[in-house]
Amino acid sequence: MISGPPGSGKSTYAKRLAEDLGLSYYSTGTIFRSLARERGLSLAEMSRLAEEDPRIDLEIDRRTLGVASRGGVVIDSHLAAWLLKDTAHYLVLVKAPMWVRVRRIARRDGVTLRRALVETLEREWSQRMRFKRYYGIDVTDTTIFHLIVDTSRYGVEDTYRLVLEGARRRGL
């Protein structure tokens, strides 16, 4: 399980870890983006819709729990770490300062820094409020994680080595 805020690198590391360990890869963010595209909404707009309609998050979480229960998967998700904290073998939190994450998001999505910043702030606030309201989860409580890495402090390869080494130490 690789968790982290938008732009922290969770997808990068989760995909690679899944490949190296011979596991499947599952991303709740991909599902959320797909649902937004189907509705013709930006991620910020989709987050606002999810604030009004809990069925969106509940459906994503239902699917994620089903995938996790089958095992053999690396999950890339902001919330699922808290939902699966008692059953997941390895919980990693990747993080980075806001300015680093916004630059990454702007580059990835082909948008301006300003737009990336506004949408990221909106998404994070929305997620924090929804997770607290729907599940009583405080996403600022990081005590559940086996490893926490600031991805801005190391290069991609060094960060990945830390993640992989932690997985191997946990018997994966």
CA 14-150-136 angle, to 5 degrees, is 75
**Is 5 annotated as contributing to ligand binding?**
yes
**Is 11 annotated as contributing to ligand binding?**
yes
Q: Give phi and psi for 150, each to the nearest 5.
A: -85, 105
In angstroms, the CA 8 to CA 81 distance is 15
**Is 12 annotated as contributing to ligand binding?**
yes
**Is 7 annotated as contributing to ligand binding?**
yes
Would you state the structure tokens that stand for residue 47, as one six-digit string? 């987050």
**Is 4 annotated as contributing to ligand binding?**
yes
In angstroms, the CA 114 to CA 133 distance is 29
- The binding site consists of 4-12
- The binding site for ATP consists of 4-12
